[in-house]
Structure 1
Amino acid sequence: MIETVTDYPALAAVRNRRSWSKVTDAAPTRAELLTLIAAAGRVADHSSLRPWRVIELRGEDRATLGAAIAKAEGDDKPSTKPLRAPLLLAVVASYRKSEKVPRWEQEAVASGVAHTLSLLLDEAGWGVIWRTGHYTRAKAVAKAHGLAKDEELLGWLYVGGKPTGARPGRRKSVDPRAHLSRMPAPAKGADKDGGATKTGAKKDKKKS
């Protein structure tokens, strides 16, 4: 039985996660990806809309993306950025029509899937880095991925093997006290719902 929060296996996995800008040519199989994506899909999802999908890019797919990026940026030569890893996972926000769930909340779900998937890949022994760029919104890049009108690209997870002896990117520790706070105290003369009290209302009426 887990007795304290420090005993959680997930805590160690999150603390140990790092971004790997350089990876080897090894990559997870499609079968491995299916298992990890199924788990990543367990993120909080209001109304279970599943407003996301993942596109895997391997081999020549990366060259196609490089050409699309070059077109978006007005370059003559294809971008070599997609060739930095053997596998790229494009994370797509696929917005659904919903009166309850706004667009921003659906994008948050897709982002949650991307982060969870990167964490799972790292824990499985793969080197991962989430790359973005202004060209994620470019028409040429969207067309290369076959995106629909109600879809947006949130970037790519670059995936490959962790080089022996290489060190991942470093990140400073977070000071939790700087990010955790409490609700502000209710203002004087306000009720529990945030409205003016009867006394306060009478005072305001006299002033008007």
Structure 2
Amino acid sequence: MSSALEAARARRSWSKVTDAAPSHEELLELVAAAGRVADHSSLAPWRLIELRGTDREKLGRAIAKAEGDKHPSSKPLRAPLLIAVVASYRKSGKVPRWEQEAVASGVAHMLSLLLDEAGWGVLWRTGHYTRSKPVAKAHGLKKNEELLGWLYVGGKPPEKREGRRRPVDAARFLTPMPGEKR
């Protein structure tokens, strides 16, 4: 088992995946771990929707409706498993909406790391249609919920060369408080 640091450094997006996918049982274990992100007041302002098989075709029709297209979108068919990431806002006098969305995003990112470490290829897809009525209806979203996108999950294909992301220049993003000298 690798460390969290090694998993984060190795993470990359997989735009092409094979037809293999984790089972529902495997997914439950990873979701339980991903749900441990920091969550002010333990509101759990998130939920995930598992889309497999014909669920993806239903989503393709909803995207087409949102886009005004006559033919279903083939985008949801690019992976055997899609996990819809939903911010499910709770009433709270202490935890603002933006913070609740951050929790849902944190769960999605943690889950993508865990899936990657478990050997699965993952890509987080978004798009303007995530906030459309047809797509919300297809997912059964309630009035207090917003779709943040989908994790596209499948097997990692064999590659001749490993994709590399440029290293992050941490000093560019980690700065002292203004006026402080270091």
- When the two structures are superposed, what TM-score results if normalisation uses the length of structure 1? 0.84
Instruction: Verify: 1:149 aligned to 2:143, yes or no.
Output: yes
Q: Percent identity?
A: 77
The CA deviation at 1:170 is: 3.4
Give 1:178's aligned residue. 172
Distance (whole Å) between structure 2 residues aligned to residue 166 and residue 105 of structure 1: 41
Give 1:133's aligned residue. 127
The CA deviation at 1:167 is: 5.0
Instruction: Verify: 1:27 aligned to 2:21, yes or no.
Output: yes
Secondary structure, counterpart of 2:50 in structure 1: strand
The CA deviation at 1:168 is: 5.8
Give 1:18's aligned residue. 12
Look up the equivalent residue of 1:34 and give its one-letter code.
L
Distance (whole Å) between structure 1 residues aligned to residue 110 and residue 36 of structure 2: 9
Give 2:100's aligned residue. 106
Give 1:122's aligned residue. 116
On the 8 A contact 1:85/1:158 being kept in 2, the answer is yes
Distance (whole Å) between structure 1 residues aligned to residue 129 and residue 161 of structure 2: 29
Kindly report which structure 2 residues correspond to 1:1-208, keeping only aligned pairs within 5 A, or say none.
9-165=3-159, 169-185=163-179
Name which structure has the greater RCO, CA cutoff 8 Å, separation 6+.
2
Question: C-alpha offsets along residues 175-200 of structure 1, whole Å, 9 cap, x if unaligned?
Answer: 001000111228xxxxxxxxxxxxxx
On the 8 A contact 1:24/1:85 being kept in 2, the answer is yes
On the 8 A contact 1:25/1:86 being kept in 2, the answer is yes
Q: How many residues align?
A: 179
On the 8 A contact 1:18/1:168 being kept in 2, the answer is no
Secondary structure, counterpart of 1:164 in structure 2: coil
Segments of structure 2 that go 5 or more residues without pairing to the other structure are none
Segments of structure 1 that go 5 or more residues without pairing to the other structure are 1-7, 187-208
The CA deviation at 1:171 is: 2.0
Pairwise CA RMSD: 1.3
Distance (whole Å) between structure 2 residues aligned to residue 74 and residue 108 of structure 1: 31
Relative to structure 1, the CA distance from residue 58 to residue 166 in structure 2 (aligned partners, 3 Å threshold; closer, same or farther) is: farther
Relative to structure 1, the CA distance from residue 156 to residue 180 in structure 2 (aligned partners, 3 Å threshold; closer, same or farther) is: same
On the 8 A contact 1:21/1:168 being kept in 2, the answer is no
- When the two structures are superposed, what TM-score results if normalisation uses the length of structure 2? 0.95
Distance (whole Å) between structure 1 residues aligned to residue 160 and residue 61 of structure 2: 30
The CA deviation at 1:164 is: 1.7
Distance (whole Å) between structure 2 residues aligned to residue 168 and residue 93 of structure 1: 33
Distance (whole Å) between structure 1 residues aligned to residue 72 and residue 178 of structure 2: 53
Distance (whole Å) between structure 1 residues aligned to residue 60 and residue 77 of structure 2: 8
Relative to structure 1, the CA distance from residue 40 to residue 77 in structure 2 (aligned partners, 3 Å threshold; closer, same or farther) is: same
Distance (whole Å) between structure 1 residues aligned to residue 92 and residue 156 of structure 2: 41
Question: C-alpha offsets along residues 14-53 of structure 1, whole Å, 9 cap, x if unaligned?
Answer: 0001110000000000100100000000000000000000
